[in-house]
Amino acid sequence: MEMITNQMPTAELQALDAAHHVHPFTNQDELTSKGARVIMRAKGVSLFDSEGVEILDAMAGLWCVNIGYGRGELADVAARQMRELPYYNTFFQTTHVPVIALSAKLAELAPGDLNHVFFGGSGSEANDTNLRLVRTYWAEKGKPEKKVVISRKNAYHGSTMAGASLGGMSGMHAQGGLPIPDVHHIDEPNWYAEGGDMSPDEFGLQRAQELEKAILEFGEDRVAAFIAEPIQGAGGVIVAPDTYWPEIQRICDKYEILLIVDEVICGFGRTGNWFGSQTLNIRPDIMTIAKGLSSGYAPIAASILSDEVAAVIGGTEFNHGYTYSGHPVAAAVALENLRILEEEKIVETVREDTGPYLQKKWKALADHPLVGEAKIVGMMGSIALTPNKETRAAFKADVGTIGFKCREHCFANNLIMRHVGDRMVISPPLVITKDEIDTLIERATKALDLTLQQIKDEGL
Ligand code: PLP
């Protein structure tokens, strides 16, 4: 076989890719006809493709490259750790220094009494862990019938059987016979799409109270936990009305339902604090973390447990673990990433300087004729595309058609924005500068203009 190198022509790389690489969340036939964009290297907020084109990555990969691309310190730490101890497991009463240091650091950073860390390799794995954990917790407390986990429609909690079941994506449930038993979904707090004539505050309260209704319907003695992202990310950066989270917290406290807060996107500075729970004043019993934990430089994730949950679980042998739980190289890389976030005051900068700068410019996009609302917290934002700003109407075309076109215009203009239905979302590296924010907004505005023109030209 011919050597496959960076020098190979793009079309040949694309053909080999389509022939042998099965992509996640991709229509493989389309890939064969269109070819994937081949990304060669990256630096700061920029990707460079196989044609040498520079692309502004307003998604930080998949919401994960918080410290930006190309930080050699992480490569150095990984190489050092690979030489010293490339692998050892943390099963059966063994441990190593990187995992001890990372656990202690996370206990220091996490809010409240979240002091105990169980590691996995991905956010999906961590949520699988959470499902088994909460059921084990209640069984240990003599209530094995408390098994039901309540989640939300349009939530994303991963792609494994438990992750996709906990998630509320109907397209995912349709494949593979999901959800698994004893997972229930209530409606999401998406005022823009579903709030009708209600005020956002009334709607937020009503949607939170769906949790109480579900608990009463199942019976409090059957419900183990509620899981939610502070701000739904993959669902379209849906920011709940202000009334929502205080009511959810009240209900979880009243019925003693464990609250699992999935911080896979919101963690590590994304919302302007270390965790979204701090921004929204939520008190989790268990927190899921991944992505920004290593800024995507190494696959690592975790569940962080409160003192109480850890104490109860500690009463038994939890028959659960992954070969890569607490992987020493990934743990060392994550620690170095946390050092950079802390020493370079990246979270503070998002909260006080570049975050507010981006927010002002992003919110101004609401003046564009195609935009019905612009939402942003910290550095995660969304805009809703609409043919009618007053009524918040949907387009005639199938949901997602216009969003997809807008994404294609972004891509052609060297900006990566994602579309979720007809919402456009951003989540740039947290180190983005004000100049780069200006470029992001310019390119996004151009993509919106081109999309509007296309809608007019094609009568969509
Ligand atoms: N939870 C949330 C909120 C996520 O956004 C994601 C991934 O996007 C996951 C869980 C799953 O993480 P992973 O893709 O690492 O399995």
Q: Tell how far the Cα of 4 is from the centroid of ligand 1, in angstroms.
A: 31
- Are the beta carbons of 392 and 366 closer than 8 angstroms? no
Q: Tell how far the Cα of 441 is from the centroid of ligand 1, in angstroms.
A: 26
Query: Which of 63, 154, 156 is the pocket-test mutation for ligand 1 (most atoms within 8 Å of CB)?
Result: 156
Rounded to the nearest 5°, which phi and psi values hold at 361?
-70, -40
The model's pLDDT over 145-171, given as tens digits with 9 standing for 90+, comes to 999 999 999 999 999 999 999 999 999
Ligand 1 atom nearest residue 159's Cα: 16
The model's pLDDT over 43-59, given as tens digits with 9 standing for 90+, comes to 999 999 999 999 999 99
- Label residue 21 exposed, middle or buried (CB < 10 Å: 0-12, 13-18, 19+): exposed
The model's pLDDT over 166-210, given as tens digits with 9 standing for 90+, comes to 999 999 999 999 999 999 999 999 999 999 999 999 999 999 999
Q: Tell how far the Cα of 104 is from the centroid of ligand 1, in angstroms.
A: 23
Q: Tell how far the Cα of 341 is from the centroid of ligand 1, in angstroms.
A: 21
What is the structure's pLDDT at 459?
87
pLDDT above 90 covers what percent of the chain? 96
Which residue is listed with tokens 């579903």?
Answer: 194
Q: Whose CA is nearest to atom 1 of ligand 1?
A: 157
Q: Which of 47, 49, 44 is nearest to 6 (CA)?
A: 49
- Are the beta carbons of 98 and 324 closer than 8 angstroms? no
ipTM of the complex: 0.99
Q: Tell how far the Cα of 290 is from the centroid of ligand 1, in angstroms.
A: 7
pTM exceeding 0.95: yes
The model's pLDDT over 420-445, given as tens digits with 9 standing for 90+, comes to 999 999 999 999 999 999 999 999 99
- Strand partners of residue 424: 383, 419
Q: Whose CA is nearest to atom 7 of ligand 1?
A: 158
CA-to-CA distance for 185 and 149, rounded, in angstroms? 9
Query: Which of 157, 275, 287 is the pocket-test mutation for ligand 1 (most atoms within 8 Å of CB)?
Result: 157
Confidence of residue 1 (pLDDT cuts 50, 70, 90): confident
- Are the beta carbons of 154 and 168 closer than 8 angstroms? yes
- Strand partners of residue 415: 56
- Are the beta carbons of 262 and 157 closer than 8 angstroms? yes
Pocket around ligand 1 at a 6 A CB cut-off: 62, 122-124, 127, 156-158, 163, 229, 233-234, 262, 264-265, 290, 301
The bridge status of strand 258-262 relative to strand 223-228 is parallel
Query: Which of 130, 263, 265 is the pocket-test mutation for ligand 1 (most atoms within 8 Å of CB)?
Result: 265
CA-to-CA distance for 251 and 246, rounded, in angstroms? 9
Q: Tell how far the Cα of 157 is from the centroid of ligand 1, in angstroms.
A: 5
Q: Where are the domains of the chain?
A: 37-70+346-458, 73-344
Q: Tell how far the Cα of 156 is from the centroid of ligand 1, in angstroms.
A: 7
Is 73-344 a CATH 3.20.20.70 domain?
no
Ligand 1 atom nearest residue 160's Cα: 16
**Architecture of the domain delimited by 37-70+346-458:** Alpha-Beta Complex (3.90)
Q: Tell how far the Cα of 140 is from the centroid of ligand 1, in angstroms.
A: 28
The model's pLDDT over 236-289, given as tens digits with 9 standing for 90+, comes to 999 999 999 999 999 999 999 999 999 999 999 999 999 999 999 999 999 999
The model's pLDDT over 75-122, given as tens digits with 9 standing for 90+, comes to 999 999 999 999 999 999 999 999 999 999 999 999 999 999 999 999
What is the structure's pLDDT at 460?
85
The model's pLDDT over 377-398, given as tens digits with 9 standing for 90+, comes to 999 999 999 999 999 999 999 9
Within its chain, how far is the Cα of 225 from the centroid? Answer: 20
Spatial CB neighbours of 139, under 8 Å, sequence gap ≥ 6: none
CA-to-CA distance for 165 and 167, rounded, in angstroms? 5
Q: Tell how far the Cα of 229 is from the centroid of ligand 1, in angstroms.
A: 10
Rounded to the nearest 5°, which phi and psi values hold at 152?
-130, 150
Cis peptide before 179 (omega within 30 of 0): yes
